[in-house]
């Protein structure tokens, strides 16, 4: 079921990129994937999934800050 929901989101995004889907179509598939992800977190361990999500969010924040600093320092100019 999870693979099917993810496949439907990928398909909706591909169609959206080609102008054959609306925002609402993509939003519907995102919601389905999010619901499925919550179910999988319940199965595999909500605390562990939350910890990993937070770790990845912090890593992303560090990357964003590094890019912003490089732009501010003039290193990110073309």
Give the model's pLDDT for residue 77. 57
Q: H/E element holding 45?
A: none
- Contact at 8 Å (CB) between 33 and 6? yes
Alpha helices in the chain (DSSP H): 2-17, 23-44, 46-73
Give the model's pLDDT for residue 35. 98
- Whether this model's pTM surpasses 0.75: yes
Residue 3 pLDDT > 90: yes
Residue 76 pLDDT > 60: no
Give the model's pLDDT for residue 78. 55
In this predicted model, what pLDDT tens digit does every residue of 21-64 receive, in sequence order? 999 999 999 999 999 999 999 999 999 999 999 999 999 999 99
């Amino acid at each position: 079921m999870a693979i099917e929901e993810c496949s439907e989101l990928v398909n909706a995004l591909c169609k959206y990129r080609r102008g054959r889907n609306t925002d609402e179509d993509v939003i519907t598939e995102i919601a389905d994937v999010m619901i499925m992800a919550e179910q999988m977190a319940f199965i595999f361990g909500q605390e562990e999934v939350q910890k990993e999500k937070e770790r990845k969010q912090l890593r992303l924040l560090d990357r964003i800050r590094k890019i912003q600093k490089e732009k501010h320092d003039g290193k990110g100019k073309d």
